[in-house]
Amino acid sequence: MPGDSHNFLDGLTLPKDVADRVKVPTIAGKPLYDSVDRRKELTALLDTEWKRLAEYSVKAIYGMEKFHDRVNLYFGHIYQAIILANGISLQLVGPDLLVPGQGANFAFVISNNGPTPVRVGAPGSPSTESDEGISLNPWLEIPTNAVIPPGHSKKFELKCQVPSDIQVTVPHSAHLHKKDYYGELATVSVEMKIGGSFNFLVGTSKILDVAPPVEIKSAQPSLLVLTPQTESRPPSLQVTVMSHLNQPANLWVGAFGNAPGNPPMSLVEYGRPPLASG
């Protein structure tokens, strides 16, 4: 390490082939963030970088080049820079909670705040399976080569069917050992062409909870002591139940206490009226 280093990272260098691939371009010797007002030069430079990295990525996929995580990370940053430089924003609007086997309606909003028309089309090979949550692409109905003019937005409606075998994610405290303890990630994507240069996949996502059709939210008190003296006057127990269905539900809720050598003691029984959604 150099003599003036402050930590073990000082003085570390990337291999030359990696450093050359992730060398950040400049405009007139200045960082790109100092050239945001030179949009034409900026987009042309990002175009060149995208094509260079796309060529490397294809070769790496087919084993013609060595795959490097740092280059892949840089590729992602160039992608984000292209989106920002061209004034593109993506938003997935919809419910914050899903119910297995039930329908859910979302809207995918694409806004073009840049100077160039944007063409979008449905991605190939739609599937509900995703390495990172649920893909909404199978329900995305989008015309071929739909055009979004500068200063305009387009909203694409998605009427989805939640898989019946999706795992419940609430309460979060019961799923801390899982990677998706925070909820389920819903994603949607389109193929986008900006001007005559870029043609790539863009998308957005939204974190959702997955709850059973009817959820027991709480039971108070959390601890009850049952003794022979409580048989004649059972203790009070309050159970809060919430329905996540989109229509009233007929259900029965019961809670019982057991004491050794005695029949079950009814603490809560509820059977009517129908429970409304929410």
Average pLDDT, the chain: 81
Q: What pLDDT does residue 184 have?
A: 85
Integer Cα distance of 51 and 44 in angstroms:
11
**How confident is the model over 204-231, as pLDDT tens digits?**
999 999 988 888 888 888 787 777 676 6
Which tokens sit at 133?
């949550």
Integer Cα distance of 148 and 131 in angstroms:
30
Element holding 47 (H helix, E strand): helix 39-61
Q: What pLDDT does residue 132 have?
A: 60
Q: Could you give the C-alpha distances from 210 to 140, 163, 179, in angstroms and in order?
A: 21, 11, 15
Low-confidence winner among 120-134, 188-202, 212-226, 242-256 (lowest mean pLDDT)? 120-134
**How confident is the model over 132-173, as pLDDT tens digits?**
678 898 898 888 778 999 999 999 999 998 888 888 888 877
**How confident is the model over 178-187, as pLDDT tens digits?**
776 678 889 9
Band of residue 116 on the pLDDT scale cut at 50, 70, 90 = confident
